[in-house]
Structure 1
Amino acid sequence: MPATSHPPRRTGRRTYAALAGTAALATAAALAAALPAQAHADKGGHRHPSRYQDVQLLSFNDLHGNLEPPSGSSGRVTELQPDGTTKTIDAGGVEYLATHLRQARAGHPYSITAAGGDMVGASPLISGLFHDEPTIEALNGLKLDVTSVGNHEFDEGRAELTRLQNGGCHPTEGCYTDKKFKGANFPYLAANVLDEKTKKPILEPYWVWKKKDVKIGFIGVTLEGTPGIVSADGVKGLVFKDEVETINKYAKELQRQGVQSIVALIHEGGFPASAAYNYDCDAPGAGAGVSGPIVDIAKNVTPAVDALVTGHTHNAYVCTIDDPAGRPRMVTSASSFGRLYTDTTLTYDRRTGDIARTAVESANRVVTRDVPKAPDMTQLISRWNTLAAPIGNRAIGYISGDVNSTGTESPMGDLIADAQFAYGKELDPETDLALMNPGGVRAGLTYKASGAEGDGVVTYAEGFTVQPFANTVNLQDFTGAQVIQALKEQVSGANEAAPKILQPSANLTYTLDLTKSGADRVVTDSIRLNGAAIDPAATYRVATNSFLAGGGDGFTTLGLGSNDLVGTDDLSALAQYLTAGSSATDPIAPPATNRITIVQ
C-alpha cells in the first residue's frame, strides 16, 4: 500500500487512537515523513496539493453578549494541574477573545470559526440594552463564519432573530447610532426550527465552507426542548424538531451535493465528570467522561457527520463518543461567556472529500487576559458603553457583601423572590408568596465591583446583568394543592433528571430530601407559609415572572393560574426593592439561604 493512503499523524495533542507497539510507531513515523503537510513537487518541479489538508476549526458557544470580561466566577475557569491540583484563571472578554483567535489563526490558511448558539440573549447591559446589536457587530469583527441558533436567540421572537441576521433598525426603538444596523456577516443555522404553517426552516439549515478544493458542510440545530425554556411569545408559530432526525436528514442532502465532510453545530450539551476545562474525559479509568443529553444525540447522529460542536450547558469538554458505526467522534464544548475556545484540527482527505477521523485533534484553550487587547474591540466596547452610561451607571441600591447566584438555593435567587413578593404586595395586598426560577438568575451582585462606583454600590447595569430578560411580574391565584404540585415539579416530570429548584420568598419554607426520588424529594408535610401548613383547598395569590406564569421550565401547574394581574418588568421590581430598602449607610445583607432545608 503506498504511503499516501494514510493521513499524517501529529503528536502532543489529543487524537482518536494511539498506535500500539514499536512497529506501528515506526510505520507512523515513516508515513509522516513520506507525507508533506501541504504539497509535493513532481519531476518537473511543479507543486501539487498533497492528498491531506489540515483544516483548523475554532469554535465557542454561549457567549450571551459578554463583550466585557465577566466578573466573579462567571469570569474564571478551572485548570487541572499536572500534580492533580486545580487553579482558577481569569478569562473572557471579546478584546482578549479577538486576540486569541487571531493569534490561533496565524499560519493556518485553512481556518474556520464556528459557534454553537446563544451568542445573544441574557446579555449584560452594554449589549442587551441595544437588543444585542453590539454583540453581532463584535462577532462580525471576530470573523465568525457560522453559528447555530440557541434557545436564547428566540428570547425576543422570530422577527428579532431575523433582524439580527439581516439587519435593519429596531422596529420600535429605531436606530441607536447614525449608521443603520447591517446584521450578521455570518449565517445563523436553524435546521430544526420550522415555520408552523410552511413546515420549512425559518433560516438556512446548513452552510458549506469552501476554499480551493476543500469543502466542509455545517448543519445547525438547537435543542428540541426550546419551547419549554423560552417564553411562549418567543416561539409562537414555530415548531422545533428532533435534533438527530434533522441532522441526519440534512447530512444526506449535503452528501447528495458532494459534501462528504460535515460538522454539526448543536445547541445542546452535556455534563463532564470534572469542572476543569482540560480534564481528559477519554483517559483510562476516567469512567463516563461526559453525561447528559448530548451523549444520546452523539450516539445516534449519522456517521456521515465528522465532529459535533455543542453548547447550552455552559460546560467545557473535549471528548470522543462512538457514532452508530462504533467509530470514535469528537464532541466539544467551550464553556460559556467567551472564557474558552476550542481548537480542532480536521484532516481533510482530498481523494474522498471526507475527514480522516483517526487524525482529528482537539483541545480547549483559555481566553486569558494576559494578551494585548484587540484595539477594534476596545473601540467597540467604548462606543457602546458611552451610549449606555447614562442608564447603566445609575445607582439602584447598596449591598453589604457579595450576593452569589450559585447553589440549590442562592442568595441572589432569594433576593429576587423577596423583591417580587414586595412588589406583588404593593400591586395587590392579597399576595401570599413569590417564586423565582433559577434559570432566570443570570448572575450575582459583586460587592467589590469593577469601575469607579465604590464598594457595595449596585448599578442599573449590574442589575441588568442579573435579570436581562424583561419578564413582567405576574400575580395569579392557585389552590394550595397547585402550589404543592408546583413545588413537586421542581424534581419530577420534565425536571426529574435535572432538578430546577424554585427560589422562594422568605415566608415559604420546606425540606428537600435528596435521598428520595422524584416528587417525593419535596417533603409535603414540611411545607410552611408564614409558619403554617398550606391548605390544599385554600386559594393563594402567587407572584412569579411571566416566563413561569406561562408554564416555562417544566412548571406546567404554574401555567394554570387564574385571576391574572400583569405588573412591571422584573428588573424594575428588583431596582425598586433595592432602592427602597438600602442606603450607603444601611446596605442590604445577602439573604441567609435558609428557606430550603436540604437532606442528602
Structure 2
Amino acid sequence: MKRNLLLIGAALSLSSCSTLFGPATTNVTVIGLNDFHGNLEPTNFAGVKVPDPADPAKQISLRTGGVEVIGGYLDQERAKNPNLIFVGAGDLIGASPVTSSLLRDEPSVIALSKLGMRASSLGNHEFDQGLKELLRMQNGGCDSNAPDKACKFQNPYPAAGFQWLGANVVDKASGQPVFAPYSIQEVGGAKIAFIGAVTKTTPTIVSPDGVASLSFLDEAASVNRYVPEIKAKGADAIILLIHEGGVSKDGFDQPACGTLTGPIADIVNRLDPAVSAVISGHTHQGYNCTINGRVVIQGDFYGHLLQRLDMTVDKRANKVTAIRAANVVMDPRSTPRNAAMTELVARAKTLTDAVKQTPLGTVASASILRAANAAGESALGDLIADSQLAATADRGAVIAFMNPGGIRADLNATGGGTTVTFGDAYAVQPFGNTLVVMDLTGAQIKALLEQQFDNPNPGSNRILQVSKGFTYSYDSTAAKGSRVDASSIKLNGAALDPARTYRVTMNSFLSTGGDTFSTFKEGVNVLQLPNLVDVDALAAYIKANPGVAGGAQDRIIKVR
C-alpha cells in the first residue's frame, strides 16, 4: 500500500513538472463571424470582382460565404491547427433570407452549432422577436411566438450549441445580466476569455416592446467591470466580441489600418488594457485596424469574410505575446465544402422552396432599388409605402410611413427577368412586422417628420418613406424642430391642417416608437392588424399591379 502511495505521489510530481517545465507558449487561432443574418447560402460580395461567365469582359461580384464554404474552411484550418476556436460578433440571426427565416432561423443556429461555434456576442437583431423568443433560441424547445415556423426544421429545436454573451444587457428590475457576460474557453492548454457586448443603441433599433424589461448599458464600462473577475480565474487572454463598429478608409485586406472611426473607436479607447483584441460587427464593414496598438477587426457581413486572429499565448505569464490579424474571403473557388452543411442547406431549401418560388407578378424592371436619393427617398421605399396604403385604405388610411431600415434588400426579379416571387419580396421585408392604423393630427405628423433628424445612430438614413399623394420639403441646415416647412406638407395637393385628424398606416415596429419615432405612440383609435403582415401587403400590391415600377422619388424635397 505504501509503495502504491509512493507511485501515485511520483506521478503527481511528474504532472506538476510537466505544467511547470512544459512549453510556455501555445499558438491559438480565433475565427470570428459577424452579421451573418442567417445567410446559409452564398451571396454577392462587392469586395472581390470576377469575370462574368456570360461576358468575360464584364466584372461582377464574387458570390461568397454560405455555411458549406465556412464549414469547409474551418475543417481545413482545424486540420492545420487543432487549437482553433470559432466565435461570433452578433446578428447571427434576424433579417434573414427566406430559407432560414421561414424556419425561425433554427437552421442557422443549428448550422453554426454543428460548425463548432463556442460563443457570440448578442446583436441587436437577435432581439427582433423579443427576449422570450431569443431565450428559446438559446435554450431550445418549441414554445415560440411563431408556432407556424418553430420546430419545423427539427422537432424539438435542440438549443444553440454556443453561448450568446451580453455583459451590458441587464434586467431593469434586478440589474443582473440576462445572458452570460463572458465565457472562458480552454484551447491548447490556454484559457481564452471572450466578453460579449451589444450596441447600447439596441432599444432604438428594435421593437421597444420586445426589450422593455432590459437595460443596455455603456459597452466599455460593462466590459471593464468583468476584467478583474476574469483575470482572477487565470485567463491567459481576453478578447472582446462586440456588436458595434465603425468605418475605415482602408480596405478589408489592409492590415493594421489607422483610419477607423465611429462608436467602436471610442469604446476601444476606454477598454481595460488587459483586453488583447476586439472582434466587432454591426456596421457591415470589412476592416482590419489597430487602435493604440490593439487589433480591432470586422468581417463585412453575410459570411463573406471571416476574421482571423493567430495568437501566441504565454500560459505562464498569462498574456498574449503576439497577434496576427486578417480578414479571409470565403471563396468557393479555393475552399472545400463541408458535406454536413450541404445536407443541412438542402433540407432547409426543401422545406422552404415551394413558398419561396411562388410567383407574385411582374415588375417594370429587373431591380427596384432601395438606394436613397439626396433627400433620403428611394424608389423601393415609395413602392412599399404605396403597398401598405393600398392594404389599409379600406380601414380609412390616407397616408403610410415606412422606415428605411426595414428595407433589407433591393427587389430583384428572379433570374434577372421581370417576374417577382415571394422569396424576392421576402428578402426585402423579412421581419414579419404587421401593419397598424391610427389617427394622428396634422401637427403630430409635422412633429413626426421633425423626429427624422433626431438621429441616435449617426450615418444611418432615418427619412421615412411615404405613400403617393403625400409630399413635403425640408432644410437640413435649419434649426432643430424647424427643418420641415409646415406649408409644404400636403396630401393630394392640399396643405395639411394641423388641427385635423388623419388616418395613417405604419408597421408594428414603428407603431410602438421604433427608431425613436415616439410620436407614433401618441396616436389614437389604434387598429392592430395581426393578420396583415408587411410582406403580404407588398405581395398583394405586386399581384394587383402587373408591371409595377418603383416610385419616382419626388415626394420628399431637400432644399439644402
Normalized against structure 2, the TM-score is what? 0.88
- Matched to 1:530, the amino acid is N
Which moves more between the two structures, 299-308 or 175-184? 175-184
Offset from partner CA, 1:63-114 (integer Å, 9 cap, x none): 11111223xxxx2232599xxxx98433222222222333333412221111
Shift of 1:232: 2.5
Tell me the residue number matched to 1:310.
Answer: 280
The answer to whether the 8 Å contact 2:49/2:62 transfers is no
Matches within 5 A, 1:444-459: 444-447=410-413, 449-450=414-415, 455-459=417-421
Shift of 1:258: 1.9
Tell me the residue number matched to 2:536.
Answer: 572
- 1:369 aligned to 2:357? no
Tell me the residue number matched to 2:557.
Answer: 597
Three-state SS of the structure 2 residue aligned to 1:291 is coil
Distance 1:572 1:163 in 2: 26
| Distance of aligned partners of 1:542 and 1:320 in 2 relative to their CA distance in 1, 3 Å threshold | same
Which moves more between the two structures, 475-484 or 495-504? 495-504
Shift of 1:207: 0.5
- 1:163 aligned to 2:136? yes
Three-state SS of the structure 1 residue aligned to 2:80 is coil
| Distance of aligned partners of 1:445 and 1:48 in 2 relative to their CA distance in 1, 3 Å threshold | farther
Distance 2:165 2:247 in 1: 24
Distance 1:524 1:499 in 2: 21
Three-state SS of the structure 2 residue aligned to 1:397 is strand
Tell me the residue number matched to 2:46.
Answer: 77
Distance 2:282 2:543 in 1: 34
Tell me the residue number matched to 1:234.
Answer: 210
The answer to whether the 8 Å contact 1:114/1:147 transfers is yes
How many equivalent residue pairs?
A: 524
- Matched to 1:443, the amino acid is A
Shift of 1:178: 6.2
Three-state SS of the structure 2 residue aligned to 1:53 is strand
Tell me the residue number matched to 1:254.
Answer: 230
Distance 2:303 2:499 in 1: 49
Tell me the residue number matched to 2:4.
Answer: none
Residue 380 (structure 2) aligned to one of 391, 405, 412: 412
Tell me the residue number matched to 2:500.
Answer: 538
- Matched to 2:491, the amino acid is L
Tell me the residue number matched to 1:393.
Answer: 357
Residue 348 (structure 1) aligned to one of 291, 308, 313: 313
| Distance of aligned partners of 1:553 and 1:281 in 2 relative to their CA distance in 1, 3 Å threshold | farther
- 1:267 aligned to 2:243? yes
Tell me the residue number matched to 1:426.
Answer: 394
Distance 1:483 1:495 in 2: 22
Three-state SS of the structure 1 residue aligned to 2:351 is helix
Matches within 5 A, 1:2-401: 49-70=22-43, 75-79=44-48, 88-171=61-144, 172-173=147-148, 175-177=151-153, 179-273=155-249, 276-279=251-254, 282=257, 289-322=259-292, 328-356=293-321, 359-370=322-333, 371-401=335-365
- Matched to 2:555, the amino acid is R
Distance 2:312 2:377 in 1: 47
Offset from partner CA, 1:349-370 (integer Å, 9 cap, x none): 22311112xx322111212232
| Distance of aligned partners of 1:509 and 1:187 in 2 relative to their CA distance in 1, 3 Å threshold | same
Shift of 1:121: 0.9
Three-state SS of the structure 2 residue aligned to 1:183 is coil
Distance 2:485 2:287 in 1: 36
The answer to whether the 8 Å contact 1:78/1:87 transfers is no
- Matched to 2:265, the amino acid is V
Offset from partner CA, 1:425-477 (integer Å, 9 cap, x none): 1222xx22111001111112113x35xxx822222222222111111111111
Distance 2:270 2:340 in 1: 42
Offset from partner CA, 1:396-441 (integer Å, 9 cap, x none): 222121012222322222211110111121222xx22111001111
Three-state SS of the structure 2 residue aligned to 1:443 is coil
Three-state SS of the structure 2 residue aligned to 1:118 is coil
Task: State the identity %.
Answer: 40
Offset from partner CA, 1:114-145 (integer Å, 9 cap, x none): 11011111111111111111001110222212
Distance 2:195 2:170 in 1: 15
Shift of 1:570: 0.9
Tell me the residue number matched to 1:38.
Answer: none
The answer to whether the 8 Å contact 1:209/1:217 transfers is yes
Three-state SS of the structure 2 residue aligned to 1:566 is strand
Distance 2:428 2:332 in 1: 24
Residue 456 (structure 2) aligned to one of 485, 488, 494: 494
| Distance of aligned partners of 1:304 and 1:179 in 2 relative to their CA distance in 1, 3 Å threshold | same
Shift of 1:521: 4.9
Shift of 1:211: 2.7
| Distance of aligned partners of 1:79 and 1:129 in 2 relative to their CA distance in 1, 3 Å threshold | closer
- Matched to 2:519, the amino acid is T
Distance 2:131 2:76 in 1: 35
Distance 2:261 2:474 in 1: 24
- Matched to 1:432, the amino acid is V
Distance 1:404 1:178 in 2: 36
The answer to whether the 8 Å contact 1:77/1:339 transfers is no
Distance 2:290 2:493 in 1: 52
The answer to whether the 8 Å contact 2:447/2:519 transfers is yes
Three-state SS of the structure 2 residue aligned to 1:494 is coil
The answer to whether the 8 Å contact 2:34/2:89 transfers is yes
Normalized against structure 1, the TM-score is what? 0.82
Distance 1:177 1:490 in 2: 40
Shift of 1:257: 1.6
The answer to whether the 8 Å contact 2:26/2:315 transfers is yes
Distance 1:390 1:404 in 2: 26
Q: Which runs of 5+ in 1 are unaligned?
A: 1-45, 284-288, 323-327
Tell me the residue number matched to 1:32.
Answer: none
Offset from partner CA, 1:249-296 (integer Å, 9 cap, x none): 11121012222411111111112225x43245726xxxxx12211111
Offset from partner CA, 1:218-246 (integer Å, 9 cap, x none): 11111122111111232132222221121
Distance 1:332 1:523 in 2: 43
The answer to whether the 8 Å contact 1:496/1:518 transfers is no
The answer to whether the 8 Å contact 2:34/2:281 transfers is yes
- Matched to 1:471, the amino acid is N
The answer to whether the 8 Å contact 1:489/1:495 transfers is no
- Matched to 1:295, the amino acid is A
Three-state SS of the structure 2 residue aligned to 1:543 is strand
Shift of 1:599: 5.0
- Matched to 2:252, the amino acid is Y
- Matched to 1:309, the amino acid is I
The alignment yields a C-alpha RMSD, in angstroms, of 2.5
Distance 1:352 1:195 in 2: 36
